[in-house]
């Protein structure tokens, strides 16, 4: 601590020559001597050795380094007893202590001890280095108003002093706030409930405002209004109005219900019509069947008249008496248009004994062909006539497209 202090300027009285450094001519600091007794400050010896001067500058005796020098205990003790002014005295050129400085006179040997208790020594604030250096004697006063001291608020949260004021002014639920109506003070956390429920000076509407009472006054005077005005008339008028409104709504609901039922029936009929438009049921009666079997060889077909399921969707049925590829009766549903579709159909080769009739049906895309075994014609021909019943329904259309031959 004392290394940076200029002791020469703090000496009380003149500097004794025996304590003057032979090199720098200042008061000795950490004196060391050569073997012939010439004394200099340790720092001056080191400066000389750093310049490669390995000898005493007085007697020129060779010296290898600082370790070859000796301490002078006598001089050290004498130096420690020299009187100086406290470094915190702020001595002016006239050797008078300036106002606000330490007036103590101490010895060089007691500098560190004194500075550790001197009320004028500048030290750091315990709260924050942002406060800068503060004299020890003024630290108590500084701490009392230090902006960085941590304080605990009534709400049990801690803040540094400089933030506490804003916290209390804007946030703290425990801070007392004055009611703008009655001027009484309440905790911030309770003020809202006070204004909404209790404040006698807060203007409020009559509790019967929903029944058209437009009276307003402060809460403390509202009871007087309630005691002197009969609100039952307003309540009755409101009930009559609501009853009338309810009847009107019931009538509207009944009308809407009737319209919806009517529209629903129309929609059902429209759906039914659409479904019927995409259906077709009939029978194809083929006379002189035995002649047809002889006339149409395998791979040759007999075609029914074309029938329409809708305006543009035409179909017919083809029968191969001797089969298309195999020697089996083959019945095929064929469409006469180009667009893709999904068809649900059912064929019935009618037998005299209805329980023996042959049913066949499936869903088809394009014009799929079905095959039916024809091993026995017993009961299927009546007066040499074959009857084929069919039911056809277009399930889905996939759009028209054009083809080129």
DSSP at 192? H
**pLDDT of 140-151, one tens digit each?**
899 888 888 888
Q: Give the burial class of 397: count Cβ atoms within 10 A of its Cβ; 0-12 exposed, 13-18 middle, 19 or more buried.
A: middle
* Residue pointed to by tokens 């009187």: 83
How confident is residue 62, by pLDDT bands cut at 50, 70 and 90?
very high
**pLDDT of 237-290, one tens digit each?**
888 888 899 999 998 999 899 898 888 888 887 767 666 677 888 899 999 988
Ordered domains of the chain (ranges, CATH): 2-115 (3.30.40.10), 125-174 (3.30.40), 279-397 (2.60.210.10)
pTM: 0.43
106 close to 82: Cβ distance less than 8 angstroms:
no
From residue 46, give the alpha-carbon distance in Å to each of 51, 264, 376: 9, 115, 136
CA dist 321 and 383 (Å) reads 17
Q: What is the mean pLDDT of residues 325-336?
A: 81
CA angle 256–259–262, rounded 5-degree value: 150
Please indicate whether residue 92 or residue 388 has the higher confidence score (pLDDT): 388
């Amino acid at each position: 601590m004392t290394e940076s202090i200029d002791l020469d300027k703090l000496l009380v009285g003149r500097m004794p020559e025996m304590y003057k450094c032979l090199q720098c001519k200042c008061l000795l600091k950490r004196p060391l001597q050569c073997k012939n007794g010439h004394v200099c400050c340790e720092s001056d010896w080191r400066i000389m050795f750093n310049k490669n001067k390995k000898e005493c500058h007085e007697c020129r005796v060779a010296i290898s380094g600082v370790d070859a020098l000796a301490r002078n205990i006598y001089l050290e003790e004498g130096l420690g007893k020299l009187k100086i002014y406290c470094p915190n005295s702020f001595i002016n050129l006239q050797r008078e202590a300036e106002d606000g400085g330490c007036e103590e006179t101490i010895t060089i040997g007691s500098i560190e001890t004194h500075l550790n208790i001197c009320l004028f020594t500048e030290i750091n604030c315990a709260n924050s280095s942002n406060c800068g250096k503060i004299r020890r004697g003024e630290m108590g006063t500084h701490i009392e108003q230090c902006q960085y001291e941590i304080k605990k608020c009534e709400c049990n949260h801690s803040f540094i002093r400089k933030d506490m004021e804003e916290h209390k002014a804007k946030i703290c639920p425990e801070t007392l706030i004055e009611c703008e109506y009655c001027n009484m003070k309440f905790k911030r956390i309770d003020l809202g409930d006070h204004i909404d429920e209790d404040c006698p000076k807060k203007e409020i509407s009559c509790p019967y405002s929903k029944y058209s009472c437009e009276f307003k006054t402060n809460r403390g005077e509202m009871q007087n209004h309630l005691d002197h005005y009969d609100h039952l008339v307003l309540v009755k008028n409101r009930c009559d109005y609501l009853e009338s409104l309810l009847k009107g709504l019931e009538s509207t609901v009944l009308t809407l219900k009737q319209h919806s039922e009517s529209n629903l029936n129309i929609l059902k009929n429209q759906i039914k019509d659409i479904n019927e438009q995409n259906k077709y049921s009939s029978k194809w009666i083929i006379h002189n069947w035995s002649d047809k079997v002889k006339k149409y060889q395998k791979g040759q077909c007999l075609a029914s008249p074309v029938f329409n399921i809708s305006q543009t969707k035409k179909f017919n049925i083809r029968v191969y008496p001797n089969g298309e590829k195999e020697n089996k009766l083959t019945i095929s549903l064929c469409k006469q248009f180009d667009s893709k579709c999904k068809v649900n159909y059912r064929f019935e080769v009618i037998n005299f004994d209805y329980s023996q009739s042959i049913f066949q049906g499936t869903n088809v895309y394009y014009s799929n062909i079905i095959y039916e075994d024809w091993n026995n014609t017993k009961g299927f021909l009546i007066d040499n006539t074959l009857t084929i019943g069919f039911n056809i329904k277009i399930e889905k259309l996939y759009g028209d497209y054009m083809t080129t031959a």
